[in-house]
Amino acid sequence: MSNWQKKGKRLLSAFFIILLTSCGAEEEGCLDIQATNFNVSSDVACGDCCTYPTLSMRINHIKNDSLTFDLNEVYLDNSNIPFTVNSVQFYVSELELIKTNGETATVSDQITVTLNDNSIVDLTDNLALYTKNIGSYTEDNFGSIQTTGVFSKVRFYVGLNNPTNQTLPASVTDEHPLATQTESMYWNATDGYIFNKIGIQTDTSDATITTYEIGTTGNQVLIELDYPISVVAGFDVALNIDLDYGKLLEGINFQSDDAATVISKIISNTDDSFSVTE
Q: Do 182 and 58 share a structural domain?
A: yes
23 and 114 in a single domain? The answer is no
- Maximal C-alpha separation, the chain: 111
| Residues 58, 73 contacting (CB under 8 angstroms) | no
Range(s) of the domain holding residue 140: 54-276
User: Are 181 and 242 part of one and the same domain?
Assistant: yes
pLDDT in tens, the chain (278 residues): 544 444 444 444 444 444 444 455 677 788 777 787 877 667 677 778 888 899 999 999 999 988 899 999 999 999 999 999 999 999 999 999 999 999 999 999 999 999 999 999 999 999 999 999 988 999 999 999 999 999 999 999 999 999 999 999 999 999 999 999 888 999 999 999 999 999 999 999 889 999 999 999 999 999 999 999 999 988 999 999 999 999 999 999 999 999 999 999 999 999 999 999 98
156 and 258 in a common domain: yes
Same domain, yes or no, for 151 and 41?
Answer: no
Residues 24 and 158 in one domain: no
Same domain, yes or no: 94 and 197: yes
Amino acid 25: pLDDT: 61
Check whether residue 84 and residue 157 sit in a common domain.
yes
Strand pairing class (28-29; 192-201): unpaired
pLDDT of residue 4: 42
Provide the Cα torsion 41, 45, 46, 48; round to 10°.
120
The confidence score (pLDDT) of residue 1 equals 52
Q: 9 and 124 in one domain?
A: no
pLDDT of residue 234: 87
Please name the residues in contact with 121: beta carbons below 8 A apart, sequence gap of 6 or more: 112, 113, 115, 163
| Whether 12 and 74 share a structural domain | no
142 and 67 within one domain? yes
Are 36 and 166 contained in the same domain? Answer: no
Domain count, the chain: 2
- The answer to whether 165 and 198 have CB atoms below 8 angstroms apart is no
